[in-house]
Amino acid sequence: QVQLVESGGGLVQAGGSLRLSCTASGGTFSSIAMGWFRQAPGKEREFVARITRSGSSTVYADSVKGRATISRDNARNTGYLQMNNLKPEDTAVYYCAARTTDWGNYPYWGQGTQVTVSS
């Protein structure tokens, strides 16, 4: 059973940056593909970015492309989402998710971390 814990959220002004972290336990981290999702108030959860188990491939939502970088550090059992040039519309609870394949559903989810971007 994989457990995920996010951190790094907070309040930031528009144009600022944040780095979200997702630390995994209960599994072999290098065998876990990771994704980031977010949910704004009154909206459905949406995909933000994902990275394969090897780290060789990444995919981003159009809304964050060019402003976000997903990465992983297998030695630290941690995945990251670097967000730059933040906008008020990036305000949401950000969740990391994990799966043991590079495709399909994500069965493992963290509790979420709040990101608030002020204008």
pLDDT in 10s for each residue of the chain, 119 residues: 899 999 999 999 999 999 999 999 998 899 999 999 999 999 999 999 999 999 999 999 999 999 999 999 999 999 999 999 999 999 999 999 999 999 999 999 999 999 999 99
State the pLDDT at residue 32.
95
Please state, in angstroms and as integers, the Cα–Cα distance from residue 79 to each residue in 42, 87, 97, following that order. Answer: 27, 22, 10
DSSP symbol at 76? G
The residues, ordered by sequence, that sit 6+ positions from 66 with a Cβ below 8 Å of its Cβ are: none
State the pLDDT at residue 27.
83
